[in-house]
């Protein structure tokens, strides 16, 4: 464990500025930020030419642990996170067993404490009958409602059941916003013979209707709402008109990067996810909404399935793709294309997740903050290759694509856990503390 670490001559990045400077880390905390910092006992890391970011926070991953060890687990998922510059994650409840009671949550946290290389917390999964658990389980990222069916068997589709959850309690509610009635109607009335049908069955109309219901309930009960993985221009237009201080949303890198039908032509069912990747109009609307602040942050929805499962063809193949390892390079590649700045990337991937989820002491390079830090080489180019990834499924939708801007070093609580392809696993991550009113 590095008791004292001095990062010297790095380009320190926040959402508002980039400045050359040093960081002093003592016992897992940032204790000085400035120029020409001296400490007689410090291990010095020369960061000349590197950009120093707050550790990336990924507020939506599916690490499949417990229940699906062939896809991912908390160890391999956290290793992929570290390789991608992600120092903290919030994991979703659709595991087996689902995280819908106290015992399941306790077991997950115990498991993460023993194996996760980066910091962690978890969502409490909502059902129609576990309201007491949702409102009293200690220290969770929030409540997750699957308004439309997706991977796993967690579903709360009845509007009365959804309203009960909004009406009682004060925790943030995060919604997978797809209307189940529309999904079922589309499945019954449309052919499902090709992955090209996926965005039609899981339509923008279904996403918009569910988002409208969630926003209405948020306003009615003054409840904090986070709309997960927004995918449509229709939702963007609605949110721009109806968002208030209690409502936030996110978008995934893959919905910003890819577009239909090209992505389905290239990847087939390996591009299949819920909600789906849509056409260029939707993709460009998401890009504009992120830049305008209608969408607040980035999350990967890292949801791995094995190659054998994804090769089954449509509709048998499961929905979901890995992404925690490549999210930052994807966003930096789009930055190089002129879509946004590095300061904006830090806002969306570091600062805003910490603010929206009320994470203590993370998201910023500031005195007193936890020393969760990502050092990146903006000039480094690397071609993504299946079989050379840390995620257990070992494939990526970006296979064959060259991305520019890669993590060089990932520091968690003052400890270097990843450095240029090498992992240091002696010290594990910690449970993320959430400031919340229950």
Instruction: List, by residue number, the catalytic residues.
Output: 301
How remote is the C-alpha of 72 from its chain's centroid?
Answer: 16
* DSSP 3-state of 415: strand
CB neighbourhood size of 46 (10 A): 11
Q: Count, in order, helices (H) and strands (E) of the chain.
A: 15, 17
Nearest to 86 by CA among 396, 401, 398, 390: 390
* Contact criterion met (CB below 8 Å) for 7 and 373: yes
C-alpha–C-alpha distance, residues 178 and 157, integer Å = 9
Contact 45, 32 (CB under 8 A): no
In what order do the strands lie in the sheet containing 142-146?
56-61, 86-91, 119-125, 142-146, 173-176, 225-227, 247-251, 297-298
**Do residues 371 and 413 make contact, with C-beta atoms less than 8 angstroms apart?**
yes
DSSP string, 249-276: EEE-HHHHH--BTHHHHHHGGGG--SSP
């Amino acid at each position: 464990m590095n008791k004292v670490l001095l990062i010297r001559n790095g380009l320190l990045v926040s959402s508002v500025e980039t400045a050359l400077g040093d960081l002093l880390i003592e016992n897992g905390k940032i204790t000085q930020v400035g120029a020409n910092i001296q400490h007689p006992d410090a291990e010095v890391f020369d960061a000349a030419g590197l950009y120093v970011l707050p550790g990336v926070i990924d507020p939506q991953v599916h690490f499949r642990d417990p229940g699906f060890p062939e896809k991912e687990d908390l160890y391999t998922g956290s290793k992929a996170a570290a390789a991608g510059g992600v120092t903290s994650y919030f994991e979703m409840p659709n595991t087996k067993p689902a995280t819908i009671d106290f015992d399941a949550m306790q077991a997950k946290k115990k498991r993460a404490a023993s194996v996760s290389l980066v910091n962690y917390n978890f969502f409490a999964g909502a059902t129609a009958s576990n309201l007491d658990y949702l409102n009293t389980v200690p220290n969770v990222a929030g409540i997750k409602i699957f308004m439309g069916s997706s991977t796993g068997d967690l579903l709360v589709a009845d509007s009365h059941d959804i309203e009960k959850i909004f009406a009682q309690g004060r925790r943030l509610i995060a919604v997978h916003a797809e209307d189940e009635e529309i999904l079922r109607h589309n499945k019954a009335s449309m052919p499902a013979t090709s992955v090209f049908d996926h965005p039609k069955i899981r339509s923008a109309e279904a996403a918009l209707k569910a988002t409208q219901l969630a926003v209405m309930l948020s306003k009615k009960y003054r409840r904090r709402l986070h709309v997960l993985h927004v995918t449509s221009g229709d939702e963007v237009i609605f949110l721009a008109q109806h968002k208030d201080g209690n409502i936030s949303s996110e978008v995934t890198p893959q919905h910003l990067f890819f577009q239909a039908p090209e992505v389905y032509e290239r990847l087939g069912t390996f591009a299949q996810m819920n909600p789906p990747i849509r056409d260029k109009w939707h993709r460009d609307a998401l890009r504009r909404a992120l830049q305008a602040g209608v969408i607040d942050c980035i999350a990967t929805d890292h949801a791995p399935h094995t190659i054998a499962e994804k090769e089954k063809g449509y509709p048998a193949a499961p929905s979901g793709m890995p992404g925690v390892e490549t999210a930052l390079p994807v966003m930096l590649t789009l930055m190089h294309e002129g879509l946004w700045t590095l300061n904006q990337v830090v806002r969306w991937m570091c600062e805003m997740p910490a603010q929206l989820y009320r994470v203590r002491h993370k998201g910023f390079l500031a005195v007193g903050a936890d020393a969760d830090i990502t050092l990146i080489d903006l000039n480094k180019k690397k071609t993504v290759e299946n079989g050379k990834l840390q995620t257990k499924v070992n494939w990526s939708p970006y296979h064959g694509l060259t991305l520019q801007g890669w993590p060089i070093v990932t520091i968690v609580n003052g400890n270097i856990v990843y450095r240029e392809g090498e992992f240091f696993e002696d010290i594990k991550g910690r449970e993320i503390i959430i400031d919340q009113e229950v």
